[in-house]
Chains A and B, each alone.
Chain A
Amino acid sequence: MPNGTHTVELQVPIERIWAFVQDMNNWAPLVPGYIHHEILSENQSTWEFKGDLGFMKKKVKLQVDITEWLEPTKVTFNLKGLSDNFNGGGYFEAQVIDANSTRMTGYLDITAGGMMGAMINTILKNFVPETATELTDTIAAKIHEVEGVTA
């Protein structure tokens, strides 16, 4: 199962991180290759983005279902391909380091199914961890920017 985890430390209190992460509109555009998203309900949204698979790019549509809002520490979600045959999930988790700093972890797993699954999963082995890292880093940078923290 292609997956990736990435952890960063932010000089921001956990509550401020939660305030940012709980509104998907804040960070959806930060997804690598973002095209657009649509919020269908508190727990359901659809996304379209262009994944960079190295030598080519692939446009995909997927549905994200939030399975758990655990304020202020964790958002867990499932995802399902709408344009292609894949499924997966992930979470963002925040842990208090001290009153002004927080450790944030992003996790993502995606598995392709169908006849081409074996081949696509080989490509995803690099793509998924790279995406998890890039997304987590980009969100962290954005939170720092919003909160006025200079690196």
Chain B
Amino acid sequence: MPAKKPAQWHEEVDVVVLGTGGAAFTSAILAADQGAKVLMLEKTHQIGGTTAYSGGVPWIPMNRYMKEAGIEDSREDALNFIKRLSQGKEPNPALIDVFVDNGHAMIDYLHENTPVRFSVPGTYSEYYAHLPEALHNSTRSLDPDPFDLNTIGEWGSLVRQNPLFPPLTLNEGGAIGGIDFTVVADRMENNIVTMGRSLIASLLKGALDRGIDIRINTPGKELVVDDNGNVIGVVAEKDGEKIYIGARKGVVLASGGYEWNKELVKTFLKGEITHPMSPPGNEGDALIMAMEAGAALGNMSEAWWYPSMQDPTFEYEGHIINQTGSGRMGPNSIMVNKYGKRFVHEGTTYNDLPRAFYEFDPVKLEYPNEPPVWMVFDQQLKDSTMIITMMPGEPTPDWVDQAQTLTELAEKIGVDAAGLEATVARWNEHCDNGVDPDFHRGTTHFENILGGGGNAEANLGRIEKAPFYAVPVNFGALGTNGGPKINEQGQVMNLRGNVIEGLYAAGNAAMSMLGPIYPGAGGTIGPAMTMGYVLGKVVGATASRTI
């Protein structure tokens, strides 16, 4: 149950925002600009949440940077494309319109009123550009410009570190390899950040410029409700002490998903995320608080899926880092399950591929593709491509299994040897024929972005040169995207379809605006910041309540 109103608040503000990611900052800035006194509470010791840990890219139709670059886009095209992908699975179709109509306004607002700046990443196009409904030869994704952390003084050291991406922009290859490590070194020396850290640092500067109160190591623990069930504050915790904070206008839940909470993951998701790719603090605090307050839930069986990989020698906050794992769709490689069989197009997007992990075999009564599954490749790929952290030409680290024969490799990794031999033979035959009739490798645009081709010549390569290698591929996610059901103004709804007064949610702490889809790079952050923009205006302008 939520907490009851205390005899006396320890402090009162207009708006309490839980979290410090992209949705949180955008809502805080907008609320503050409506005249509200805003307090942001961050559970961890670092600012930025899942956004800082990410590429920091918002996917926004019709944005100003596209227009400046001469890229044509329209409301109708954007809606058609999103609906093509969502296929009616979105929990509230009206939110798609809210997103398309407000996303570009959000980008305009931040451009005009904060240091947040983006560029169009010319080298990084739409993931589904091969679809007729997609935008072709350009992108709706926006690439945060590099940001000098020195300009925010000591706050710079509090911006969450990002172990997944080097300090390069998306356009410079920060997410897809081809990395210039001398530029990386120069940026590190000079405290210049990019991607998620840049976006958060520039939003943080915008918040600091407004005098928004931001506190780290101060998790929100419970919502406070009045006798009518309206949310009027939060109980936070600082140094083990409970603090009752009254919120005259409202409380915004923007503290991320629940991917690190094993119990919630098992309760709601079809596939069990074993290797999350986000800060370990994302334990569903907002979801639990919202459920306690009687919130209805939406999109709960979905997540921002990712086939994650590991170099087990790297740790972040006590956990081995789950990495994006470059090399996955390289030509001389396939992905196989425990039977040594391919089960998916290995070059599909990271949000789509893991859906094959939870496929159920109704005859064998099992999940044959349940990870770990294995990326199997040969010396040709090792010689040409960075695989996780293993650079071409470098010795093979001991966390990569290798063998002179496929049979020996299969035995090492616990995969059916005959199955693997047969699968590779069939794959090689497909390569010779220049077509993959089983899973259609070399036909999607995403392979072009990450694998440099998107055609048979570039993405189909024989697995034939020993030694042969294997690395496990795990069930990962960038975050979850189910949560409290929200209306078009970001207000949380109860099970009877009514608004829970005073409670708002955005980002991974809320039901996804677009449902299960991930339209392109920034399909997470674009809607998150857009809802932050929408609800920030609403909660900031709402009348103060006597609490």
Contacts and interface: CB of A to CB of B under 8 A. Distances in A.
A40 to B, nearest CB: 18
Interface string A37-79: 0000000000000100011111110000000000000000000
B181 A117 contact: yes
Contacts, number: 54
A118 B181 contact: yes
13 contacts: A54-B161, A55-B163, A56-B163, A57-B314, A60-B313, A83-B313, A83-B397, A115-B392, A116-B181, A116-B391, A118-B181, A119-B166, A122-B188
Interface of A: 50, 54-60, 83-85, 114-119, 121-123
A105 B386 CA distance: 40
Contact of B313 (A58, A85, A118, A121): A58
Interface of B: 161, 163, 166, 181-182, 184-185, 188-189, 312-316, 321, 391-395, 397-398
A56 B184 contact: no
Q: Which applies to chain B's interface (DSSP): helix, strand, loop or mixed?
A: mixed
Contacts of B394: 85, 114-115
Given A85-B394, A114-B391, A56 B182 contact: no
Contact of A56 (B181, B189, B321, B392): B321
Nearest to A83: B397
A50 B182 CA distance: 25
Contacts of B321: 56
A53 B105 CA distance: 40
A57 B321 CA distance: 10
Contacts of A59: 312-315
Contacts of B184: 118-119, 122
Contact of B188 (A50, A114, A116, A119): A119
A118 B185 contact: yes
A119 B184 CA distance: 6
Contacts of A56: 161, 163, 314-316, 321
Contacts of A84: 313, 397
Among A60, A85, A117, A119, the one with the most B-chain Cβ atoms within 10 Å of its Cβ is: A119
A137 B182 CA distance: 34
B391 A122 contact: no
B188 A55 contact: no
A116 B314 CA distance: 15
A49 B391 CA distance: 22
Nearest to B161: A55
B249 to A, nearest CB: 36
Contact of A50 (B315, B391, B393, B397): B315
A119 B313 contact: no
Contacts of B313: 58-60, 83-84
A115 B315 contact: no
Contact of A122 (B189, B314, B315): B189
A121 B189 CA distance: 10
B398 A83 contact: yes
7 tightest A-B contacts by CB?
Answer: A55-B161, A59-B313, A118-B185, A57-B315, A122-B185, A119-B181, A119-B184
A1 to B, nearest CB: 14
A83 B392 CA distance: 15
B193 to A, nearest CB: 12
A149 to B, nearest CB: 36
Contacts of B315: 50, 56-59
Nearest to A116: B181
B267 to A, nearest CB: 31
Contacts of A55: 161, 163, 316
Contacts of A85: 394-395
Nearest to B162: A55
Nearest to A113: B394
A123 B161 contact: no
A115 B394 CA distance: 9
B282 to A, nearest CB: 17
B185 A119 contact: yes
A129 B185 CA distance: 18
Contacts of B392: 115
Given A56-B314, A56-B321, 7 more contacts: A55-B161, A56-B315, A57-B315, A83-B398, A84-B313, A115-B392, A119-B184
Nearest to B188: A122
A122 B182 CA distance: 10
Contacts of B189: 122
A104 to B, nearest CB: 31
A115 B181 contact: yes
A95 B279 CA distance: 48
A122 B185 CA distance: 6
B280 to A, nearest CB: 13
B464 to A, nearest CB: 26
Contacts of A57: 314-316
A88 to B, nearest CB: 18
A118 to B, nearest CB: 4
Among A50, A57, A121, the one with the most B-chain Cβ atoms within 10 Å of its Cβ is: A57
B347 to A, nearest CB: 24
Nearest to B167: A119
A119 to B, nearest CB: 4
B393 to A, nearest CB: 8
Given A55-B161, A83-B313, A123 B181 contact: no
A114 to B, nearest CB: 6
A114 B188 CA distance: 18
Contacts of A60: 313
Contacts of B312: 59
Contacts of B314: 56-59
A100 to B, nearest CB: 43
A118 B391 contact: no
Contacts of B395: 85
B397 to A, nearest CB: 6
B362 to A, nearest CB: 43
Contacts of B182: 118
Nearest to B46: A55
A123 B189 CA distance: 9
A24 to B, nearest CB: 23
A49 to B, nearest CB: 11
A115 B391 contact: yes
A123 to B, nearest CB: 7
